[in-house]
Amino acid sequence: MPRARSRYAPDRGLTGRMVTTMFLIGLLYVVFVGVLLAALRGSWPIILIITGGMFVAQFWFSDRIAAYGMGAREVTPEQAPELHGTIDRICALADMPKPRVAIAESDVPNAFATGRSEKTALVCATTGLLRRLEPEELEGVLAHEMSHVAHRDVAVMTIASFLGVLAGIITRIALWGGFARSRPGNDPAGILLLLIPLISAVVYAISFLLTRLLSRYRELSADRAAALLTGRPSALASALTKVSGQMARIPTEDLRKAEPYNAFYFLPAFSAKESLGRMFSTHPTLEQRLDQLSRISTDLSR
């Protein structure tokens, strides 16, 4: 018998956006592979093997790769009793199986969740976060991360980001080496080869925007679900304010190391105020998040 859903508030808006994103990404994937097959007719078995292999690797190992890249180290209840205790309380509230628990040695105050399912999920907090937050604030942050697992949007983001990564790789290869240098300019196959970099760039741009739009909504959804589950939106708001304020005190070098993983983090890390990453942020603004939590607090107080 399948396990019943968790007690996290369902979000039809998030579900609809995930389905739409996966559908559009799927269409892009079919078009992208179709163009590659048309341009490189003799190499279609290699293309299918490479793209299929990369997709499987991205889906099955991306959580491990992300956790390793962010320095996550699994800890036992004896090694981190307070962190495990908080996770245990959230699991009891949400009626969810307990994920693996990890700590990352980093002064950047943050947390993240990875995993393609509840069985493979991992929730990690940095030492900087654990040192700065009060227990109720930490509970709000971890409830936020656990909602990503409950809503399965971590797995969707992993799959959705694959095509953009692949298209980006193809674009770089085309720019560095040139697909069509060995083909005459009036050859139809050569023209198709010339179109690959352009199509790859368009696919990358579209998938980039789709994943950014989904990411921003899922962060608001996670804030909302965590606030309703714990019944303390003010604690989550306090954590957001505190973590955001502390980011300015983190060394630039540490922030630059964290920036590539912003889509996974509780709060994005930017190495500079004028960073282009802010223009295409994976998260809504702090003001948007605090405004939503304020409305939830007002509703709960009624």
CB atoms under 10 Å from CB of 216, counted, come to 17
Q: What is the pLDDT of residue 4?
A: 47
Instruction: Kindly state the DSSP code that residue 283 receives in the 8-state scheme.
Output: S
Annotated binding site, which residues?
144, 148, 219
Per the residue annotation, which of 78, 145, 253, 259 is the catalytic one?
Answer: 145
Annotated binding site for Zn(2+), which residues?
144, 148, 219
Reported pTM: 0.80
Active-site residue, 145 included: yes
* pLDDT band for position 275 (cuts 50, 70, 90): low
Give the Cα separation of 272 and 246 in Å (integer): 14
Which of 180, 116, 169, 103 minimizes the C-alpha distance to 142? 103
* pLDDT band for position 120 (cuts 50, 70, 90): confident
φ, ψ of residue 3 to 5 degrees: the values are -70, 145
* Amino acid at site 41: R
Give the Cα separation of 223 and 148 in Å (integer): 10
Give the Cα separation of 233 and 199 in Å (integer): 44
Across all residues in the chain, what is the average pLDDT? Answer: 81
Copy the structure tokens of residue 208: 């980039």
Burial class (CB in 10 A: 0-12, 13-18, 19+), 302: exposed
What residues does each domain of the chain span? 10-299
Q: Are 82 and 237 in contact (CB under 8 A)?
A: no
Q: Is the pLDDT of residue 182 over 60?
A: no
Which of 299, 137, 302, 295 minimizes the C-alpha distance to 230? 137
- Least reliable range by pLDDT among 35-44, 107-116, 155-164, 188-197: 188-197
